[in-house]
Amino acid sequence: MGFTLIELLVVISVIGFLASSAMVLIRVTQIKARNVRRNGDIVQLIKAFRLAEDNAGGVLPTGGACVSNGCTGIFSPFVNIDAVYSAIAPYIQKPSDSSEFGRTGSGYIYSSPASYYSSSPGSWLSWLLEPVANVPGVCGPGSAHLDTLPAAILCDVKID
């Protein structure tokens, strides 16, 4: 006794459906993991800037700078400014956000003085997350979700 062609096609279809479902779940999990790493990098950068602020008598460096190993897309106008990075260099190595994957850009940006959300001017960090779920808190605790761009979620946090 053998299997009929219909039975074989049904089994192959079910296996194909299960495989494609698994691939989608794996992709979503990978995106979430990369976003968690990015939010963790921001937490470490905040700590480094606060240590630099304490070391400099309560003053943070001024300017807009890329504080990661390269900034691309909408963040590409920001360059590495030695004064900004040298302030945090004793406390952290430049984090890397190199997975471009079609987002609007990548990297971590420091801006000071800047004023977002009608706040008083201060020092801010900005970064992009991959859109997997646009839910409150996606940018991490204490952060603001500025805008959902076509292929990214723009996040900001005031660090002073």
pLDDT of amino acid 41: 93
If one compares 102 and 12, the residue with the highest pLDDT of the two is: 12
CA distance 46 to 29: 26
Domain ranges for the chain, please list them. Answer: 5-158
Task: Determine how β-strand 105-106 pairs with β-strand 108-114.
Answer: unpaired
Q: What is the pLDDT of residues 74-115, one digit of tens each?
A: 888 887 778 888 899 999 988 888 665 556 788 899 988 887
Return all residues near 90 (Cβ < 8 A) that are at least 6 apart.
51, 52, 55
Segment among 28-32, 74-78, 143-147 with least mean pLDDT: 143-147
Percent of the chain with pLDDT strictly greater than 70 = 89
